[in-house]
Amino acid sequence: MTGPLRRLAVVGAGSMGAQIAQQAALHGIDVRLQDTSEEQLRKAVESNRGHLLRRVEKGRLTAEAAEAAIGRVRTTTDLAEAVGDADLVIEAVFEDLGVKRSIFGELDRLAPRDAVLASNSSTMAISKIADATDRRDRCVSMHFFYPVLVMDLVEVVRGRETSDQTVEKALAAARAMDRTPVLINKEIDGFIVNRILHAATQEAYRLLDAGVAGFEDIDIAVEKGLNWPLGPFRLGDFSGLDVTYKARRHMFDSTGDERYRPSPQLEAKVKAGKLGRKTGEGWYKYSQ
C-alpha cells in the first residue's frame, strides 16, 4: 500500500464485514467484499442497501450518492479476485484463530506484496495471526465497532512486529473511511473499549447472579444513572450474546483470571440458542 487508500478488500461479509465495506464505499473507496457463502454476500448487499435507502428517506444522503456507494462494493466468493489488487485487506470472518491464520496465509500469497493485512478480531492478538505470513511487519489490528455505519471508533493495535509505516497506513485508512482511530501500542486482551466494557458488564452479571437485582432494573439503573444509551443486557442482546460469551470465555481461558469467568446465566442463554435480537430472544424478547 503506497499513498492513499484506493482499493480495499474485506474478507467475511457478516455483521461487521458488510458494513466495513459499505462505510469505505460511502467515502469513495472501491471495495471488493469476499465471503465463501453466496447467501451471506447477497444478504450483505441487501442489508447495506436498506441502511443507505433509509438515509436517503431521511434526507441525509442523495439517491445518487447512495447508488454510487452501493455500486462501489463488488462482491465475490473468489479470494484471489478480491485481494489481487488491494492496498489494504480487512479480515472479518468468524472469531476462530485457526480460520484466521489460514486466511492470512492465503492473503500473504494472493495480495500484492506491499498490501497491509488487517484483522478486525475483537480478542485475538495480531501477532498470533500474522505468524502465518511472511509479512508480519505489514499486519495490524483494525478493530471496528458494531454497527460500523454508526459507530465512529476504530482501535488500531500494533503487533510485536508491526512497522511504524503499517501503523500509519492503518490510521490513515480509518480516517479515509471517516472513522476516528485510536492507537494501542501493546497487544492486550480486550484493547481499550472492551476492557472497560467487560469490567462494567461483569459487575452487572455478578449483581444478577447474586440476585441483587433483575436484569431489567440493572439496565435501567445504568441507562438512567450512567447515561449509557443501552444497559449491559440490552447491549448484549444487540451485539449477540454468543459474541459477549465467547469474548469472556477467551479472556478467562487465556488469563485464568476469575474476574473474566462467564456468568452461568449468560452461558445458559447461549446454550439455549437465545442469542439476542438476531434469534428473536436473548435477555429480552423481540418481534421479528
Ligand X SMILES: NC(=O)c1ccc[n+]([C@@H]2O[C@H](COP(=O)([O-])OP(=O)(O)OC[C@H]3O[C@@H](n4cnc5c(N)ncnc54)[C@H](O)[C@@H]3O)[C@@H](O)[C@H]2O)c1
Shortest distance (Å) from residue 80 CB to ligand X? 12
- Spatial distance between the Cα atoms of 206 and 209, rounded to a whole number of angstroms: 5
Shortest distance (Å) from residue 44 CB to ligand X? 8
Q: Which residues contact 174 (CB under 8 A, 6 or more apart)?
A: 142, 154, 156, 180, 181
Phi, psi for 19 (deg, rounded to 5)? -80, -30
142 in Cβ contact with 118 (< 8 Å)? yes
Hey, what's the cell of 59?
434526507
Say whether 155 is catalytic. Answer: yes
Of 83, 68, 75, the closest CA to residue 13 belongs to 75
Is the Cβ of residue 2 or residue 288 nearer to ligand X in the bound state? Answer: 288
Say whether 122 is catalytic. Answer: yes
Q: Taking CB under 6 A as the rule, does residue 232 contact ligand X?
A: no
Q: Taking CB under 6 A as the rule, does residue 95 contact ligand X?
A: yes
Per-residue binding letters, 17-36, with ligand X (x by CB under 6 A): x----------------xxx
Is the Cβ of residue 162 or residue 239 nearer to ligand X in the bound state? Answer: 239
- Choosing from 143, 198, 239, 263, the catalytic residue is 143
259 in Cβ contact with 202 (< 8 Å)? yes
The number of residues that bind ligand X (CB under 6 A) is 28
CB atoms closer than 10 angstroms to residue 205:
22
Query: What angle is formed at CA 19 by the lines to CA 79 and CA 156, rounded to 5 degrees?
Result: 85
Shortest distance (Å) from residue 224 CB to ligand X? 25
Q: Taking CB under 6 A as the rule, does residue 146 contact ligand X?
A: yes
- Choosing from 120, 141, 194, 263, the catalytic residue is 194
Among 15, 166, 201, 263, binds ligand X (CB under 6 A): 15
- Spatial distance between the Cα atoms of 105 and 121, rounded to a whole number of angstroms: 16
- Spatial distance between the Cα atoms of 160 and 149, rounded to a whole number of angstroms: 30
Among 80, 94, 134, 195, binds ligand X (CB under 6 A): 94
- Spatial distance between the Cα atoms of 136 and 54, rounded to a whole number of angstroms: 41
Q: Interacting stretch for ligand X, rule CB under 6 A, among 58-66, 138-146, 215-223, 255-263?
A: 138-146
Q: Taking CB under 6 A as the rule, does residue 156 contact ligand X?
A: no
Say whether 198 is catalytic. Answer: no
Angstrom CA distances, 44 to 16, 64, 121, 151, 199, stand at: 10, 20, 19, 18, 32
Among 133, 141, 239, 263, binds ligand X (CB under 6 A): 239
- Spatial distance between the Cα atoms of 68 and 124, rounded to a whole number of angstroms: 34
Say whether 163 is catalytic. Answer: no
Among 8, 10, 11, 26, binds ligand X (CB under 6 A): 11
Which residues are catalytic, by number? Answer: 122, 143, 155, 194
Chain positions contacting ligand X, by CB under 6 A = 11-17, 34-37, 40, 92-95, 99, 103, 120-122, 143-146, 239-240, 243
